[in-house]
Amino acid sequence: MVKDQEGYHLLLVEDNLGDVLLIEEYLHEKILNLDLTVVNTFEEAREKLVDPDTYLDAIILDLTLPDLQGEPLISKVKELAGDVSILVLTGYSDIEFGMKSLTLGVSDYLLKDNLSPTSLYKSIVYSIGRNAISRQLKDSEKRYKELFQLSPQPMYLYDMETLDFLDVNKAAIDHYGYSKEEFLSMNLRDIRPIEEISRLEMVISGIREGKKAPGPLFFKHQKKNGEIITVEIKSNVIDYQGIKAEVVLANDITEREQYIHAIEDQNKRLQEIAWMQSHVVRAPLARLMSLVMAMESLEKDFGKENFRKMIMDSAEELDEIIRDIVNKTDKVSLKEKDSN
């Protein structure tokens, strides 16, 4: 017979010597590396469970001990055992309570009269496996909560059916100005300007149908003080306590958006200045040069006054253009200071 070579550390809490011998025999039949500790009373079990040097994979617990029985026994052992799997041993007369014990946190219950090496071994292995998965889920949930709450960016969780907020982190509370209690009494529509609500509902409808748009989305949000901000949304659909929900990270990009608009406006003004320098300035300058060259070929005093007037007109036009360029340059410099 092939035995399980995995090492198991088990605690058997049983006061009936015959049952103890039978269970030991069944366990050794299926498990090669077995570390089995046997105690006869709850008090002995308590001493083992509070010992920091005691490591256990599972506890096999008789429901009727000399010093404690039934639900109080399960509750106290469960409290002391923590995450360790507990398997209850019961007789036919206690089968109803054996079933109830599952609601008290017991991993499995076993009928003594139906016990066999295989049924006992399977119950132990399955209970330990389920317990390991349960611990992994708890650890995963703990990590999620830590990432959610400690994120420096506003994050919130909402019910995809009702759009009600289910949870918000501290960053969202600080940024939007609502308390956690206020948030949990609100829904997604309450942080949107009225003109954004129809688009919000259209996007949510698409997500419900599995048509979520790739990449981030951009929305207008409204803080408690009425300030409108632009946010970049990144989200994922999750199952939250049996509710289809979406966890959202809302990155406020209002300042970045304003900076981009300022740069675009600045570039437009610089293009206007460059066009004026290359086109508008050259016209009066070319006329001035032509007039100067023409004056050199004229006889003395011939049309002198007319040429002088044309030169002054062109000079004044050129001066006005240069002033306009300087004004535009000053506006660009002022915007650069404002953006800094």
CB 314 within 8 A of CB 277: no
Give Dmax over CA atoms of the chain in angstroms: 142
State the Cα–Cα distance between residues 212 and 205, nearest whole angstrom: 9
Class of domain 151-252: alpha beta
List the single range of 59-68, 234-243, 267-276 with lowest mean pLDDT: 267-276
**Model pTM score:** 0.49
Residue 224 has pLDDT above 90, yes or no: yes
- For residue 330, how many other CB atoms are within 10 A of its CB? 10
What 8-state DSSP symbol labels residue 300? T
In the prediction, which pLDDT does 103 show?
A: 76
Per the prediction, the chain carries an average pLDDT of 81
Residue 300 has pLDDT above 60, yes or no: no
In the prediction, which pLDDT does 285 show?
A: 63
Range picked from 111-120, 140-149, 191-200, 213-222 for highest mean pLDDT? 191-200
Query: What is the CA angle 46-47-53, rounded to 5?
Result: 115
In the prediction, which pLDDT does 291 show?
A: 65
Contacts of 89 (CB under 8 A, 6+ apart): 14, 19, 60, 61, 62, 63, 109, 110, 112, 115
Residue 206 — pLDDT band, cuts 50, 70, 90? Answer: confident
Residue 213 has pLDDT above 70, yes or no: no
Q: Give tens-digit pLDDT for 40-49.
A: 999 999 999 9
Give the start-to-end residue ranges of the domains of the chain: 8-146, 151-252, 256-339
Give the residue-averaged pLDDT of 186-206. Answer: 92
In single-letter form, the type of residue at position 225 comes to: N
Q: Catalogue the E-assigned strands of the chain.
A: 8-13, 34-39, 58-62, 85-90, 108-111, 155-159, 165-168, 217-222, 228-240, 243-252
Residue 112 — pLDDT band, cuts 50, 70, 90? Answer: confident
Class of domain 8-146: alpha beta
Look at residues 318, 315, 317, 324 and name the one whose alpha carbon lies nearest to residue 273. Answer: 324
**CA 65, 66, 68, 70 torsion-angle sign:** positive
Give the residue-averaged pLDDT of 104-116. Answer: 85
Range picked from 63-77, 102-116, 287-301 for highest mean pLDDT? 63-77
In the prediction, which pLDDT does 288 show?
A: 67
CA distances from 162 to 204, 232, 250 (A): 11, 22, 19
Q: Give tens-digit pLDDT for 239-269.
A: 888 889 999 999 998 887 766 676 767 667 7
CA 316 to chain centroid, in Å, comes to 65
Question: Are both 8-146 and 151-252 of the same fold?
Answer: no
- Residues 94-103: b if buried by 16+ CB within 10 A, e if exposed: beebbeebee
